[in-house]
C-alpha cells in the first residue's frame, strides 16, 4: 500500500477586530488572525482537493483589506499548484468542509473534479434563495450542475478507509470534516470550522453564527 500524501497550501488569512461572534470574550485570547488553508490529498487511486480558501480576487489587493473582518491572500492557489506539478484541472474529487466564502474561494476555478457534498449542504446553498449566512453563491455557482456525489452522512473517498469524509453539521447545514490516516503522523482530522480557536475545542464554544447549536455540539461529541 503506497503512502498517502497531504499537501497544505496557504490560501489566505482572516483578521478579526473582535472574536465575540465566536462566543469567546476578547480578553480570553490575544489571537485575532486565523489561517485559511487548502489541502491536496494524493492517494494511489486519485487526488482530492479539500477546501478552497479565500476568493482568488482577494490577491488583487496587496496586504490586508476590508473592515471589521480583514482578509489577505498573498498568492492564489492556482499560482501555487505548479510547485507540485498540478493545476486546477488535476483533481479527481473536490470536497469543501462547507460552503462559506472562505472555504470555496477557488471552487469555480476547479475543472473536471467530481464534487462530494452533503445533500443538506447542497440543498441549502444551491437553493434559489440562499439563507445560510456567510455564503457567496457567485463563488461556486459553476458547480450547481457539476458531476457530484451527494452524500448523507460519512463517505469513504477511496474505499480503503484511509480518507473519509465525516458528517459534522451545525456550523452550516451540511458541514463535514476530513479524516485522513497518514503514515508518519497517524490519523488526522481536518476539522474545517468545527473549531476556530483552541478554546473553542476545550470549552465547546459554538459561534453565534452557526446555523444549529445543538447539532454543532453533537458534531463536537462525535469527532473528539
- Most distant CA atoms of the chain, gap in Å: 49
Considering only the stretches 7-15, 39-47, 55-63, 188-196, report the one whose residues sit in contact with Zn ion under the rule CB under 5 A: 188-196
C-alpha 122, offset from chain centre: 14
Residue 100 makes contact with Zn ion by CB under 5 A: yes
**Sole residue written with cell 497550501:** 9
What is the nearest approach in angstroms of Zn ion to the Cβ of residue 139? 13
**Sole residue written with cell 492564489:** 76
Considering only the stretches 26-34, 98-106, 121-129, 209-217, report the one whose residues sit in contact with Zn ion under the rule CB under 5 A: 98-106
Pairing of strands 163-167, 176-182: antiparallel
Considering only the stretches 16-24, 115-123, 154-162, 185-193, report the one whose residues sit in contact with Zn ion under the rule CB under 5 A: 185-193
Torsion (CA) 208, 214, 220, 222 in degrees, nearest 10 = -160
Residue 193 makes contact with Zn ion by CB under 5 A: yes
Do 137 and 175 meet the contact criterion of CB atoms below 8 Å apart? Answer: no
Residue 175 makes contact with Zn ion by CB under 5 A: no
What is the nearest approach in angstroms of Zn ion to the Cβ of residue 191? 11
In the complex with Zn ion, the residue whose CB is nearer, 81 or 220, is: 220
Q: How far apart are CA 3 and CA 45, in angstroms?
A: 11
In the complex with Zn ion, the residue whose CB is nearer, 36 or 81, is: 36
* Residues in touch with Zn ion (CB under 5 A): 100, 193
Amino acid at each position: 500500500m503506497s503512502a498517502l500524501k497531504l499537501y497544505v497550501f496557504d490560501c489566505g488569512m482572516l483578521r478579526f477586530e473582535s472574536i465575540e461572534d465566536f462566543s469567546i470574550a476578547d480578553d480570553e485570547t490575544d489571537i485575532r488572525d486565523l489561517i485559511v488553508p487548502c489541502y491536496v490529498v494524493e492517494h494511489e487511486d486519485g487526488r482530492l482537493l479539500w477546501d478552497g480558501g479565500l476568493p482568488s480576487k482577494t490577491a488583487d489587493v496587496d496586504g490586508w483589506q476590508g473592515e471589521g473582518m480583514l482578509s489577505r491572500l498573498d498568492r492564489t492557489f492556482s499560482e501555487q499548484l505548479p510547485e507540485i506539478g498540478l493545476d486546477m484541472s488535476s483533481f479527481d474529487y473536490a470536497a469543501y468542509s462547507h460552503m462559506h466564502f472562505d472555504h470555496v474561494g477557488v471552487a469555480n476555478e476547479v475543472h473536471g473534479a467530481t464534487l462530494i457534498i452533503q445533500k443538506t449542504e447542497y440543498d441549502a446553498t444551491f437553493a434559489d434563495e440562499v439563507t445560510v449566512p456567510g455564503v457567496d453563491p457567485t463563488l461556486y455557482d459553476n458547480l450547481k450542475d457539476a458531476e457530484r456525489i451527494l452524500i448523507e452522512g460519512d463517505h469513504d473517498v477511496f474505499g480503503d478507509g484511509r480518507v473519509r469524509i465525516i458528517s459534522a453539521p451545525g456550523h452550516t447545514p451540511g458541514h463535514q470534516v476530513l479524516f485522513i490516516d497518514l503514515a508518519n503522523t497517524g490519523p488526522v482530522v481536518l476539522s474545517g470550522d468545527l473549531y476556530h480557536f483552541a478554546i473553542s475545542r476545550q470549552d465547546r464554544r459554538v459561534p453565534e453564527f452557526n446555523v444549529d447549536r445543538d447539532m454543532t455540539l453533537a458534531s463536537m461529541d462525535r469527532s473528539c
